[in-house]
Structure 1
Amino acid sequence: MTVTNGEAPKPALYGVGDAKNASTANWVPVLSGSAMNPNVKNVQYAVRGPIVQKATKYDEMIKSGNGGDLPFGEVIKANIGDCQAMLQKPITFLRQVLSACLYPDLLDISPPVFPNDVIERAKEILGALPGGSLGSYSESTGHLYCRKIVKTFIETRDGYPADVNNVILSNGASEIIKLTLLTATFGVGKGRTGVMIPIPQYPLYSATISEIGAEKIDYYLDEEDKWSLSIDELAKSFKEAQDYCTPRVLCVINPGNPTGQVLKRENIDEIIKFAAEHQLVLMADEVYQDNVYDADSEFCSFKKALMELPQYKDRLELVSFHSMSKGFMGECGIRGGYAEFINFDSEVMTELKKLKSAQLCSAVSGQVALSIVLNPPKPGEESYELFMNERSAVLGTLKSKSVKVHDLFSRMPGMRVNPIMGAMYCFPRIELPQKAIDEAKEAGVAPDAFYVEKLLESTGICVVPGSGFGQLPDTYHFRTTILPPEDKIEAMLKKFEEFHVGFIEQYK
C-alpha cells in the first residue's frame, strides 16, 4: 500500500477467502496522527494534562511501594475541584435517599434503617419513574419529576417563573454546555460563529470550541481589580473579532473558575445589556453559586437580573447552568446538572433536544440525585437538622481554607494574589526570575509549567499552570484548589512555601 500526493492511505480490499492469507507487513491503519479529525488534535485540557499525568504516575509508584527514591511520601492533587477525592464527606440525606432508590428492598426492612422523610422521599421518586426503577430510561431531556424539582428550585431562588419545558438535565453541566455551543456554531469564514470566553477560563470552553471548529474570542478579566469583568474589554474583544468571525456567544463564569471572583450585581446588569445590544447568546456558568465566602459578595443569578431589566428581559437569549459537582454537595462522580433556556427560538429548542435525544438520556441516578439536593429536607422533617449542620460545616470549612490559602500566598515573596471571593480555587501570580524563564524556554515549556513541574517533583504537590487557563502575555500564574483536608492543607502550604522560597533563591 502506498501514499501518493500526501493523501491518506486507502486500505487494501481483499476477498473474504483471501483475508486470512493477506500479509499484515504493509498494513496501514485507517486512522493515524495525520489521518484523523484535526479539531480533536487541537483540543487541550490542562486540568488533566501532562503534569497531572506525571503526578498520577508518582502516586501509583508510592502506592505500589516503589516510591522510595521520591523526596515525598504522598501526592497532593490540588489540580481539580474533586471534593470527595479530597475527603469531603457526602451529604447524608442525599446518599440515604439515593441508596433507597437504587435498592428499594431497603425500604421494607423492619425496624426501618432510614428516617421517615428519607423513606417518603424515596417512595415519591420511585413512584414517578417508569417501572418504579432508576434502571429505566427517562425522557431525553430528563424525567419530568426531576425537571419539576429544578423548575421549583429556580423559581424559589429567583422569585420569577420558570418553564419546565425549557429545562434540560445532563451528565453534569459540561455535557449541556458542549451541546449548546455545538448548536450555536455555524457559518464559514468571517461568518463562522465566534465564542467570547474569559481569560483566564475553565479549559472546557477552549477545548469545546476547538472540538466543534468555532472561533475563540478571548476577553481578559482585570487582575488589578479583583478579576472583574470590564465592559470596555468586552467591547474591544468584540470589535477585534469581527475581522475574522461573527461573535454570537458570550460565556461568563460566576463565581469564577479559576479566579474565584464573584460578580457584583451592577456588573451583571452591564453584561446583560452588552449581550442584548450586540445580539449575543449569553451562557452563564453558575455551578459555584453556593460557594461564596467573601462577606461583601453575594451570588445573583443572571436569570434574576435579566427578569429585573424590563427593556431586555424578552430580547436576550440566556442559558444558565448548574451542577451538583460543586457547592456543598461535591458529587462530581454522580454526574448531575441542568440548563435553563430563556427566550430561545422554538425551532432551535427542538433541534437542541434532538441532539440530546441522540444521547438517549443523562444518567437517571444523576437526575434523581440532583432532584434530591435541589429539594432538601424542610424544617420540622427528621433529616433537616443533620442536613443543615452538614451543609454549614462543608461551606464553613471551605471558607476557612480559602482564607488560609490566600493569606499564605499573599505573604510569599514574588507572589501576588487576589482574595478568594468564591468557587474553590486560588489563582496566584508568580513573578518568576528571568533565569527560570530562560531555562523554561530552552526546555520548550511555558515558564509557569516549568515552575509547577519543579513543585511536583520536589514536594508531590500537583497544581495547574496558568498557561493552561490563559493569561495576559508575560504574566505567570498557577491554579490550586482549596479542597485538601484541613489537617493536610496546613502541611501542604508549609511545603509549598519552602519550595517557593528555595526556587526564587535558586533562580534569582
Structure 2
Amino acid sequence: MHHLGADAIERAWQILDQIPGRATGAYSHSQGIKGLRDTIAAGIEARDGFPADPNDIFLTDGASPAVHMMMQLLIRSEKDGILCPIPQYPLYSASIALHGGTLVPYYLDEATGWGLEVSELKKQLEDTKSKGITPRAVVVINPGNPTGQVLAEDNQRGIVEFCKQEGLILLADEVYQENVYVPEKKFHSFKKVARSMGYGEKDVSIVSFQSVSKGYYGECGKRGGYMEVTGFGPEIREQIYKVASVNLCSNISGQILASLVMSPPKVGDESYESYYAEKDGILSSLMRRAKTLEDAFNNLEGVTCNKAEGAMYLFPCIRLPEKAIKAAEAAKTAPDNFYCRRLLNATGIVFVPGSGFGQIPGTWHFRCTILPQEDKIPAVVSRLTEFHKSFMEEFRD
C-alpha cells in the first residue's frame, strides 16, 4: 500500500468540494465540473505559457467522443472534406465515414522520419477543391500514431499558417504529449505555437484533444479526456455546447482523472519525489524499449524502421518477397496482414498490419507497440527474429 501524502488527501477533499453535493454519482455541467475545468485550464497555462479559459474546455469520455463531436459539427454532407494524415489512427477515417464526410488523405514522408510537408497539404487541398469537395479541417496527430514522430516547432508554424490562410480548422490530436523519448525533440501544443506567432482567438480555430489513456499513467479504461476549443465565435460555441448537452455529461471519475493528469504534484508537495521517480521510471523504460525494438527491426532482412520520437509505437516498413505477396493473394488477404497473421500464429506476437492505418500503395508496414514489460522484450525480439528468418526463407523468390 502506498503511503498517501498529506497533499494527496488535501487534493481529494478539494475535488470532492468541487463536485455538486460531493457525489461522484451525480450529473455535472455538460462541459464537465467547473472546478476541474479551472484546474485543467491552469495546467494548460503552465504548460504553454499562454492563458487558457475553463469555458473552452469540454470534458469527454476519452478523446474519441470529442473527435466524433467535432466531426458531427463539421460535416454537412459527403461534399465536406477533412484532411487526415496517412498513415493515421483509424478513429479519424471511421468517424468521417460515420458522419458522412470525405476523408482527404495527405501522406507523411517516411524518408524524412514521417515528416509533414506543408507542400503536400497544399497539393491535396487543391486536388480536393478541383473535385468539388469543400475542405473543412486538417487533422494533425502529434506525437504521431502509428508513426511516432514529434513535429518540430517551425514545421508546426507552417501548418498553423496554412490553416490560417485557407480558413481551415486545425484538429490537433495531442494525446501523446507526455510521450516524447528523444532529448532533441520537445512537445509544443498547436495553441502555444499559434499564440507565439501572434495569432489570437479571432485569427485561427484550433481544437486540441487530450486523454488519460496515454502518457505514463495509461488509464484507458477510465475513459477520461477533454477538448480545448479556441477561435470559434459565440454562435458556433453554442452549437458545440448543444451537442455536448445531448450526452448530459462525461463520467465523473474520468473527469477527475483528466484534471489530475493536467495538475501533477508540484515541487514542495509531499508526494512530489515519489511521483516524479515513478513517472521518470516509466518514461525512461518506454524510451529503452522503443530503442531496443527499433534496432531489432532494422536488423531484420528487408525491414527498415524510423526512430520512435514519441507516442508508443513503431511503424516499420517491410519489403515482402514476390512469393509472399502471391501467397497472400491466394489467401485473399493483404500481404502485410498475411505476414502479421503468420507471426501471430507462430509466436503469439500481435502486430497490426499497416493497411489498417493507410500507407503509400505498394508499400507494406505494421504497427508494433512498445508496451510489453521491459523484461519480456528480449524474448519477443528473439521470437520475432527467428520467425522472420524462417518466413523469408520460405518465401524467397
- The TM-score normalised by the length of structure 1 is 0.76
SS in structure 2 of the partner of residue 420 of structure 1: coil
**SS where residue 228 of structure 1 aligns?**
coil
Structure 1 position 114 matched with structure 2 position 4: yes
Q: Distance in 2 between matches of 1:141 and 1:311?
A: 26
1:180 matches 2:67: no
Residue 183 of structure 1, CA deviation? 0.3
Question: How far apart are 1:132 and its partner, in Å?
Answer: 0.8
Q: 1:231 aligns with which of 107, 114, 118?
A: 118
Among 299, 309, 323, the residue aligned to 1:411 = 299
Give the match's secondary structure for 2:229: strand
In the alignment, structure 2 segments of 5+ residues that lack a partner are: none
Instruction: Give 1:379 shift.
Output: 2.0
Higher Rg:
1
| 1:279 partner letter | G
Structure 2: distance between partners of 1:380 and 1:273:
40
Q: Which residue of 2 aligns with 1:294?
A: 182
Q: Deviations over 1:143-163 (max 9, x none)?
A: 001100110011111111111
Runs of 5+ unmatched residues, structure 1: 1-91, 97-112
Tell me the TM-score normalized by structure 2: 0.97
Q: Which amino acid aligns with 1:145?
A: G
Match of 2:48 in 1: 158
Aligned to 1:171: 61
1:131 and 2:21 are equivalent in the alignment: yes
Q: Is the 8 A contact 2:314 2:367 kept in 1?
A: yes
Whichever residue aligns with residue 329 of structure 2, its letter is: K
1:262 to 143, 150, 167: 150
The answer to whether the 8 Å contact 1:425/1:480 transfers is: yes
The residue number in structure 2 matching 1:22 is none
CA contact (8 A) 2:201 2:230 kept: no
Could you tell me how far 1:314 is from its partner in structure 2?
3.0
CA RMSD of the aligned region, Å? 1.3
- TM-fit CA distance, 1:245: 1.1
Deviation at 1:274, TM superposition (A): 0.7
Deviation of the 1:347 alpha carbon:
1.3
Residue of structure 2 aligned with 1:394, choices 279, 282, 293: 282
Contact 1:273 1:312 in 2 (8 A): no
Which residue in the other structure is 1:372 paired with?
Answer: 260
CA gap of 1:166–1:407, structure 2 versus 1, over 3 A, is same
Q: Measure how far apart 1:293 and its partner are.
A: 0.7
Distance in 1 of aligned mates of 2:297 and 2:351: 14
3-state SS in 2 of match to 1:195? strand
Match of 1:144 among 34, 43, 53: 34
- CA–CA distance in structure 2, aligned partners of residues 196 and 114 of structure 1: 46
> Which string of whole-angstrom CA distances, capped at 9 and with x for unpartnered residues, describes residues 460-489 of structure 1?
111100000000000000001000001111
Contact 1:328/1:395, CA 8 A, preserved across alignment: yes
Moved more, 352-361 or 371-380: 371-380
Deviation at 1:116, TM superposition (A): 1.5
Does the Cα contact within 8 Å between 1:306 and 1:313 map onto a contact in 2? no
Check whether the contact 2:77–2:100 (CA below 8 A) recurs between aligned residues. no
Report what 2:249 is aligned to: 361
Q: Which residue of 2 aligns with 1:218?
A: 105
Q: CA deviation at 1:313?
A: 6.0
Partner residue in 2 for 1:458 = 346
**Contact kept in structure 2, 1:194 and 1:249, CA below 8 Å:** yes
Deviation for aligned residue 1:312: 6.9
Number of paired residues? Answer: 395
Corresponding position: 1:476 with 2:364: yes
